[in-house]
Chains A and B, each alone.
Chain A
Amino acid sequence: MSIQSITTTRHRDGQKLETRRRIIEAAIRVFSRDGILASTTAEVAKEAGLSHGSVFAHFGTQEFLVSAAIEDFGGALARRLHMLVASGAGTRSVLEAHLRAIGEREDFYARLVVEAPLLPAQAQDSLVAIQSSICFHLSPAVAAETRARKIRPMPLYLLFNTWIGLAHHYLANRALFAPGGSVVERLGEELLDHFMYLISKED
Chain B
Amino acid sequence: MRLCISCGMPMEKPEDFPLGDASKDYCVHCARPDGSLQSYEERAAGMADFIVTTQGLDREAALSTAKAMMSRLPAWKGRS
A156 touches B51 (CB 8 A): no
What range describes how many residues of B lie at the interface?
10 to 19
**How many residues of A are counted as interface, with CB atoms below 8 angstroms from the partner's CB atoms?**
24
SS class of chain A's interface: helix, strand, loop or mixed? Answer: helix
CA–CA, A75 and B7, complex, Å:
12
B54 touches A128 (CB 8 A): no
B57 touches A132 (CB 8 A): no
Count how many pairs of residues, one from A and one from B, have CB atoms less than 8 Å apart in the complex. Answer: 51
Which residues of A lie under 8 Å from residue B8 when comparing CB positions?
75, 78, 129
B13 touches A160 (CB 8 A): no
CA–CA, A160 and B8, complex, Å:
21
Which residues of B lie under 8 Å from residue A138 when comparing CB positions?
54
B72 touches A87 (CB 8 A): no
Contact of A79 among B10, B54, B56 (CB under 8 A): B10
A128 touches B51 (CB 8 A): yes
Does B65 sit within 8 A of A, measured CB to CB?
A: yes
Q: B50-80 vs A: 1/0 string, CB under 8 Å?
A: 1111111100000001001100100000000
CA–CA, A155 and B53, complex, Å:
8
Which residues of A lie under 8 Å from residue B72 when comparing CB positions?
71
B68 touches A121 (CB 8 A): yes
Nearest CB in chain B: distance from A77 CB, A: 12
Does A93 sit within 8 A of B, measured CB to CB?
A: no
Nearest CB in chain B: distance from A168 CB, A: 13
CA–CA, A131 and B55, complex, Å:
8
B-to-A contact residues, CB < 8 Å: 1, 8-10, 13, 47, 50-57, 65, 68-69, 72
29 A-B pairs with CB atoms under 8 Å apart are: A79-B10, A82-B1, A87-B13, A121-B68, A122-B68, A124-B65, A125-B68, A125-B69, A128-B51, A128-B55, A128-B65, A129-B8, A132-B50, A132-B51, A132-B54, A132-B55, A135-B54, A139-B53, A139-B54, A155-B56, A156-B54, A157-B52, A157-B55, A157-B56, A160-B54, A160-B55, A160-B56, A161-B55, A161-B56
